[in-house]
Amino acid sequence: MFISGWKNPIITILIFSLIVLTFSACCFAGQLVVDRTEIGKDTVWQGHVLVKGDVRVKKGATLIIMPGTTVAFEKIKKFGPEKLSLDKKNHFPRAELIIRGRLLAQGLPDKVIVFTSAEKNPSVADWGAVNFIGSKDNIMEYCDISYGHTPVHCHSAQVTVTHCTFHDNGVAIGFKNIKGVELKCVVSVLYNKFWNNGGGILIGGGTSPVVSHNDIIGNKFFGIFAKKSGVCAIRFNNIVRNGKGIILYSVRDLIIRDNNIANNLDYNISLLEGQEQDVDAQGNWWGSIDPSKIRRLIRDAASDQSLGKVDFTNFVSAPVPGAGILLSD
Amino acid sequence: MKIPKIFSYTAVLLVFLGSISTSAYCCVGRILTVAIDNSVDQKVVGTVLAIFINERTGTTVDLIPCKDISSCKDMVKNGDADIFIDYIGQASLEIGDASKASSPQEIYSLVKQYFLHNYSMVWLKPFGYHGPLGTLPKPGFGQGSLAAPVTSSRVLDQFPILDRVINKLSGKLDDECLKKLVQDSKAGDNETVIKKFLRDRNLI
């Protein structure tokens, strides 16, 4: 049947078209090399993808990255000829995947998608970011992300980031709303692991994320840094052994509850100059049931009267069960 | 003391990012620069400023070298740096009327007014230690050589809480403290030493 099918011109054309279509969109074997470019139609990446400059997914187009794909970014010259945009306010010095359309990067537990540096000896910020700007319905799931500057970065964009691992980046995730873009930032950060980054999650101006069930462990400067954020919920996370657990600046409607916030090196929570509003952080585990020990790792009005107070009362007497990445996942 | 490290010191993430630059980009936020000359006290106190500002505001701070205090001042005046450390006695030499001052406080006020009027620069409160001697406007006015951070009106417009933050260091760094900080920095990692100093005084 199959052989006889080749004799049928319609089937032959169909097969030929399928092959052409497939190869125009992705790469089965070897390596797909992507120079500085714009993607204007739906595209699929799989296998090994070497990115050698900014790649912009234009509005109306979707980039799908298949499970098991490795996307490696070359360390290009800072704001050099391989960049598509020299707008330093919204872009990073080195190569980015700029999402104006949509990104679906959905790996599987046993076939994660890797975003990393292409360097033999990689270092932090070899590449810039998967930079979502004014785009929505994006998903990053089961991805391993390393050596980026701020590898998941959202300006007035909507993204779900789940079951990903971030390590050896500058700041793992950063987001804020920007003027002139109608879409508001909505980011769900769920079931991820953040370790050995400069900072974990940077919650910026006016954004209202959900940050839950993450392991935020051993990041050099901070676990979570919220500044001028909107209403946001930080619940059921393990925030431990970071330089500072949570840093807050000019934040109002923040819910910090049911987390394990313990053993951070400088402070579990530190209010920055300008955080005059009190902070409700009841119902967390602080690594101790001794209020004086808990207090020692909180910087607030008790240390500096110009700061607000952190209400850490009603703390739980043992680690919050079910916080962090659930084992059943 | 690990001098080169001080010069390359960038208070927070840029160190981690391996990217030292005075131009901010995407989500790095604003970057402040402190111009320091080659003297030991400027290197140590510049690092104190960098760590303190970073810890209390989250703002990245770069230290940039300059030839001497006059060059540092020019850098701030021209917008090439944001803060420098000056000495009241030295600065008062520019002002003819300073010799008529009857108290160290009056000299400080005269200098402050002069800089604001002529350069749009703002003298913040003195740290507490004395800078180079031999530049006193009047014998016996030991206070006249107190060191103080100086910034510009432009910078304070951009960083409205900066004066409030830096002024928290006022009087916290006297001659004895500085001497000890310099000694300890020679013996160990200066950033660790300075962070401990600030932490012990409940400043960070």
Q: What pLDDT, in 10s, does the model give residues A205-255?
A: 888 899 999 999 999 999 999 998 888 899 999 999 999 999 999 998 899
Q: Please report how many Cα atoms fall inside a 13 Å half-sphere around the Cα of residue A175, on the Cβ side.
A: 32
pLDDT at residue B139, rounded to an integer: 54
Task: Provide the 10 A C-beta neighbour count for residue A164.
Answer: 27
Q: How far apart are CA A89 and CA A59, in angstroms?
A: 20
A234 plus A89 within the same structural domain = no
pLDDT tens track for B7-59: 333 434 444 444 333 445 566 667 899 999 988 889 999 999 999 999 999 88
pLDDT the model gives residue A9: 63
> Would you say residue A22 lies in a domain?
no
* Mean pLDDT value of segment B96-113: 80
Model pLDDT, residue B97: 66
In a domain, A293, yes or no: yes
B195-203: average pLDDT: 93
Q: Which helix (H) or strand (E) holds B59?
A: none
- Edge-to-edge order in the sheet of strand A244-249: A37-39, A55-57, A97-99, A130-133, A152-155, A171-176, A199-203, A222-227, A244-249, A267-271, A298-299
Q: Do A240 and A292 fall within a single domain?
A: yes
Q: Supply the mean pLDDT for chain A.
A: 91
Number of domains in chain A: 2
CB A52 within 8 A of CB A76: yes
Query: What does the alpha-carbon distance between residue A105 and residue A29 come to, in Å, rounded to a whole number?
Result: 19
- Does this complex have an ipTM over 0.85? no
What is each CA distance from A210 to A187, A190, A226, A256, in whole angstroms? 7, 8, 12, 11
A259 within a domain of the structure (yes/no): yes
Angle at A189 between CA A186 and CA A192, to 5 degrees: 165
Pair A177, A205: CB distance under 8 Å: yes
Both A158 and A34 in one domain: the answer is yes
Residues of B in contact with A89 (CB under 8 A): 25-26
Q: What pLDDT is stored for residue A87 in this prediction?
A: 85
Which whole-number Å values give the CA distances from B3 to A4, B39, B45, B47, B60, in the listed order?
80, 10, 13, 11, 20
Given a cut of 70, whether residue A164 has pLDDT beyond it is yes
Interface probe with A: pick from B12, B13, B163, most Cβ of A within 10 Å:
B13
The band of B2, judged by pLDDT with boundaries at 50, 70 and 90, is very low
- Residue A159 CB coordination number (10 Å): 25
Among A190, A208, A229, where does a domain finish?
A: A190
The pLDDT of residue B90 is 84
- Segment A25-33 shows an average pLDDT of 68
- pLDDT computed for residue A180 by the predictor: 80
Last residue of a domain, one of A136, A166, A190: A190
Tokens coding A66? 């298949």
Decide if A125 and B17 are in contact by the 8 Å CB cutoff: yes
Same domain, A100 and A220: no
Expressed as residue numbers, the domain containing A146 is 27-190
Whether the predicted pLDDT of A10 surpasses 80: no
Size of interface A-B (CB pairs under 8 A): 71
Out of A163, A190, A217, pick the residue that ends a domain. A190
Interhelix angle for B190-200 vs B175-187, to 10°?
140
pLDDT tens, position by position, A120-158: 999 999 999 999 999 999 999 999 999 999 999 999 999
Residue of A nearest to B166 (CA): A273
Is the confidence at residue A167, as pLDDT, over 60?
A: yes
Q: Are residues A176 and A247 in the same domain?
A: no
Q: Are residues A213 and A283 in the same domain?
A: yes
The residues with which A70 forms a beta bridge, in sequence order, are A48, A114
List, in sequence order, every residue forming a beta bridge with B64; answer none if it has no partner: B35
pLDDT band at A179 (very low <50, low <70, confident <90, very high): confident
Chain B partners within 8 Å of A221 (Cβ)? 12-13, 16
Q: Using an 8 Å Cβ cutoff, are A230 and A253 in contact?
A: yes
Residue A168 clears pLDDT 50, i.e. is over it: yes
* Least confident interval from A38-52, A212-226, B121-135, B183-197: B121-135
Q: How far is CA A90 from the centre of its chain?
A: 16
Amino acid making up residue A164: C
User: Are the C-beta atoms of residues B81 and B64 closer than 8 Å to each other?
Assistant: yes
Of B13, B23, B57, the CB nearest to A199: B13
Give the CA radius of gyration of chain B: 16
Q: Specify whether A165 is located in the same domain as A224.
A: no
The mean of the pLDDT values for chain B is 82
Averaged pLDDT, B55-80: 93
Using the predicted structure, report yes or no on whether residue A115 has a pLDDT greater than 80. yes
Residue-range domains of chain B with CATH:
3-200 (3.40.190.10)
A17 in a domain, yes or no?
Answer: no
- What is residue A20's predicted lDDT score, i.e. its pLDDT? 45
Local structure of residue B106 (DSSP, 8 states): H
Residue A237 maps to a domain? yes
DSSP letter at A49 equals E
- Dihedral, B98, B103, B106, B110 alpha carbons, nearest 10: 10
* A125 and A264 within one domain: no
My answer on whether A53 and A178 are in the same domain is: yes
Compare CB distances from A93 to B13, B25, B27 and report the shortest one's residue. Answer: B25
Burial (Cβ within 10 Å: 0-12, 13-18, ≥19) of residue B60: buried
Phi, psi of B66 (to 5 degrees): -140, 165
Q: How confident is the model at residue B99 (pLDDT cuts 50, 70, 90)?
A: low
Q: Are residues A184 and A209 in the same domain?
A: no
- Residue B192 burial by CB count (10 A; 0-12/13-18/19+): exposed, middle or buried? exposed
Which two structure tokens, joined as six digits, stand for B23? Answer: 């131009």
Gap between the Cα atoms of A141 and A160, Å rounded: 8
Banded pLDDT at B144 (limits 50, 70, 90)? low
Q: Mutate which of A203, A207, A221, A270 to test chain B, going by most B C-beta atoms within 10 A?
A: A221
The two structure tokens encoding residue A316? 């739980």
CB contact under 8 A, B24 and A303: no
Q: What is the band of A29 on the pLDDT scale with cuts at 50, 70, 90?
A: low
The set of residues, in sequence order, having a beta carbon less than 8 Å from that of B100 and lying 6+ positions away, is none
Backbone angles phi, psi at A241, to 5 degrees: 55, 30
A311 in any annotated domain:
no
pLDDT > 90 in chain A, percent: 80
A115 forms bridges with which residues in the sheet?
A71, A145
Q: Is residue A103 part of a domain?
A: yes
Query: A288 with A266: CB under 8 angstroms?
Result: no
Q: What digits encode the pLDDT tens for the residues A70-104?
A: 999 999 999 999 999 888 888 999 999 999 999 99
Query: Is there a contact between B189 and B2 (Cβ–Cβ < 8 Å)?
Result: yes
Contacts with A77 (C-beta within 8 Å, 6 or more apart), sequence order: none
CA separation for the pair A114, B63 (Å, rounded)? 36
Q: Is the domain of A52 the same as that of A183?
A: yes
Distance from CA of B27 to the nearest CA of A (A): 7
Q: A155 and A238: one domain?
A: no
Q: What is the pLDDT of residue A327?
A: 53
Is residue A133 a part of any domain in this protein?
yes
Q: What does the pLDDT look like over B145-180, one tens digit per residue?
A: 899 999 999 999 999 899 999 999 999 999 999 999
